[in-house]
Amino acid sequence: MPEQQPLGLPVHRTAAWSFGSAAEYRDVLGGLQPGYSYSRVDNPTADAFAQGVAALEGAHVDGEVVGQPFASGMAAISTVLMALTRAGAHVVAPWEVYGGTYGLLTTVLERFGVATTFVDLADLDAVRAAIRPETTVLWGETLANPTMSVADLPALSAIARDAGLTFVVDSTFASPAVVRPLEHGVDLVVHSATKYIGGHSDVTGGVAVGRPDVLSRVRHDRIDLGGSLAPDEAYLLHRGLATLPLRVTRHCSSALAVATALADHPVVERIDYPGLPGHRDHDLAVKLFDEGRFGGVVTITPRGGRDAGLALCDRLRLVMRATSLGGTHSVVSHVASTTHRQFDDAALAAAGIGPAAVRLSVGLEDPEDLVADLAQALDPL
């Protein structure tokens, strides 16, 4: 191997490693000495990616911050929740939670005896009232999907700390280029790295970062559950870290331009974007987020109900109809029929999601072109 350090991350495309002796094999696999044995357990490329995210999230945190890589955001979320709960445990989560997380809590974990109470996280008294003796996890989203509500991270961290809970935040919609929840007292941060961290709509992955004592439990369950990140995907995700601040800055500035241009459109009933002064959580966003960065997602609710939302999606020419977000191209989803299809009408209403809501992930195109495309799509509605 050359002594010089490569500028690009090496890809360790191997399922297993060989050992000089049976004793070395035993000790590495048993955690008695450092090393690698099997890529489902650990892989150097995947570890480099996870530690890169941990370095960003823990940039201004006292104490060590470590990361665990996963094959998808849902693999990270499910493993974290399984590691922090047991039969009879209880979770407090926001109504406006990602549909995949909602489905996990209300179907999979519920089958195994884990109960969930959904609340409005902005109502701190309601959060406190929802906590039970058996509660182990307070779950939040830095920027809620798709209402773009902002979690009061310091206040919620204090509540979790006083109750002895682990406070976990899904920060996918923000990324560490907008805010780093660990700086505000959060115990564990998860990301669907498929989104802004990868940034190019060409890779799937997830990551969880936080204190070593919490992540050690998550790592054990990751190994047993098998949702480990492959080395080629880890390479692509690690590459995305280098351009993350540049891309997110453009996403955020263009999203603000789009939200501002459409805020007073006569066909638009509601715009959800915390960069707008009229958003409920604008002042909190200014306090918590890096200057000028309010996320790259704008949720547009046109007048006319579900059919109007579907029609808005269909009339767009530049913006594409596609799942996921955080990539170079702008994409839309009709929320009630896609990302939050697990929600019935009552759950949608409780989460503050209208039946016409359309989630727009603003890409890297010229914002004037995006505004023009949205305007022509809205005009006939």
Is 287 among the residues known to form the active site? Answer: no
H or E element in which residue 44 lies: helix 44-57
Cα–Cα distance measured from residue 215 to residue 364, given in angstroms and rounded to the nearest whole number: 34
User: How many alpha carbons fall within 13 Å on the CB side of residue 326?
Assistant: 28
Question: Tokens 């999606």 label which residue?
Answer: 313
- Is residue 182 within 8 A of residue 154, CB to CB? The reply is no
| Of 180, 195, 219, 359, catalytic | 195
Q: What values do phi and psi take at 194, rounded to 5? A: -55, -30
Cα–Cα distance measured from residue 381 to residue 306, given in angstroms and rounded to the nearest whole number: 12
| Of 42, 47, 98, 281, catalytic | 98
User: Is the four-CA dihedral 117, 179, 276, 301 of positive or negative sign?
Assistant: negative
Q: Which residues pair with 137 in a beta bridge?
A: 91, 166
Cα–Cα distance measured from residue 160 to residue 230, given in angstroms and rounded to the nearest whole number: 34
Is 98 among the residues known to form the active site? Answer: yes
Burial class for 227, CB neighbours closer than 10 Å (0-12, 13-18, 19+): buried
| Of 25, 40, 217, 280, catalytic | 40
| Of 42, 47, 152, 170, catalytic | 170
Phi-psi region of 64 (alpha: psi -120 to 50; beta: other; left: phi over 0): beta
**Strand runs (DSSP E) across the chain, as ranges?**
66-70, 90-94, 115-119, 135-141, 166-170, 188-192, 206-210, 268-272, 297-302, 320-321, 331-334, 358-361
Buried b (16+ CB within 10 A) or exposed e, 49-77: bbbbbbebbbeebeeebbbbbbbbbbbbb
Q: Which amino acid is at 303?
A: R
Is 345 among the residues known to form the active site? Answer: no
Q: Which residues contact 133 (CB under 8 A, 6 or more apart)?
A: none
Cα–Cα distance measured from residue 279 to residue 362, given in angstroms and rounded to the nearest whole number: 18
DSSP at 187: S
Catalytic annotation, residues:
40, 98, 170, 195
